[in-house]
Amino acid sequence: MKKLLTSIAFLSIVFYANAQELEFGIKAGINTGKGSVSEIKSWSNDPQTFNSLNGGVYGRLKVMLVGLYVQPEVVLNSRSGVYKFSDATNGSISFEATNKALYVDVPVLLGLKMLKLFRVYAGPNFQFLVNQETTFSNISGGVLPTKKDLNKQNTGVQIGVGLDLWKLRLDGKWDWNPGSMGNFMEYNNNAPTLKNSMFTVQLGFKLWGIL
């Protein structure tokens, strides 16, 4: 975390030295998505779609190259999931696992602004786990599942489009983790790996800026 913040500070200084525009603001939005987990041996699973909220702050530095900018953010983000597991060979054995995880997301996005209104951007999203709640329900037969801890840090990817109107900043982005986020449960000596993807809509407001 310390190394990441140092790198962001260094990049900010470099871009600031060549900046034509600098702004800071707040943002909040809603996520909709679905997690995916690997199978438990012969078991099948049925992930359910989730909705969650996010909110935080952003900074934007526009550099001399036409329309190019860098935008670091710090966002409190929730990623949840309900997974229905069932034994493919014995339908009478099943259970549901609910996992709720709260993260501090630090995306560092490189974008291009066009016609003074539209934006496209992409970049890595550094995720830091703050809290995890894992519960089990509707257990029918078999061995009881147990909770495990997800990875404390992950790196995801964000890609999106945006619209700037006055001081309002509207964004629609795709957020996903190409790698494993860890294991939130174990069943019968098998711990399925978790991946996550979601679509996020955010509305931001420019609080301060210089041209």
Q: Is 164 helix (H, G, I), strand (E, B) or coil?
A: strand
Strongest mean pLDDT among 16-25, 66-75, 84-93? 66-75
Alpha carbon distance 207, 104 (integer Å): 21
Q: Which of 59-73, 154-168, 187-201 has the lowest mean pLDDT?
A: 59-73
Q: Which residues contact 207 (CB under 8 A, 6 or more apart)?
A: 24, 25, 26
Instruction: Say which CATH topology domain 2-210 has.
Output: Porin (2.40.160)
Token pair 């969650």 in the structure block, residue = 52
Averaged pLDDT for residues 70-78: 95
Integer Rg of the chain from CA: 20
What tens digit of pLDDT does each residue of 136-193 get?
A: 988 887 788 899 999 999 999 999 999 999 999 999 999 999 889 999 999 888 888 9
More confident residue, 65 or 188: 188
Cβ-based neighbours of 178, under 8 Å, separated by 6 or more: 156, 157, 195
Classify the phi-psi angles of 40: left when phi > 0, otherwise alpha if psi is within -120 to 50, otherwise beta.
beta
pTM of the model: 0.84
3-state secondary structure of 188: coil
**Distance from chain centroid for Cα 89:** 35
Q: Rounded to whole angstroms, how far apart are CA atoms 75 and 70? A: 16
DSSP sequence for 130-144: EEEEEEEEEEESSPP
Residue 161 to residues 112, 132, 196, Cα–Cα distance (Å): 10, 30, 20
The DSSP string of 170-201 is EEEEEEE-SS--B-SEEBTTB---EEEEEEEE
81-135 tens-digit pLDDT: 888 888 877 767 888 999 999 999 999 999 999 888 999 999 999 999 999 999 9
pLDDT of residue 5: 55
User: How many residues belong to the chain?
Assistant: 211
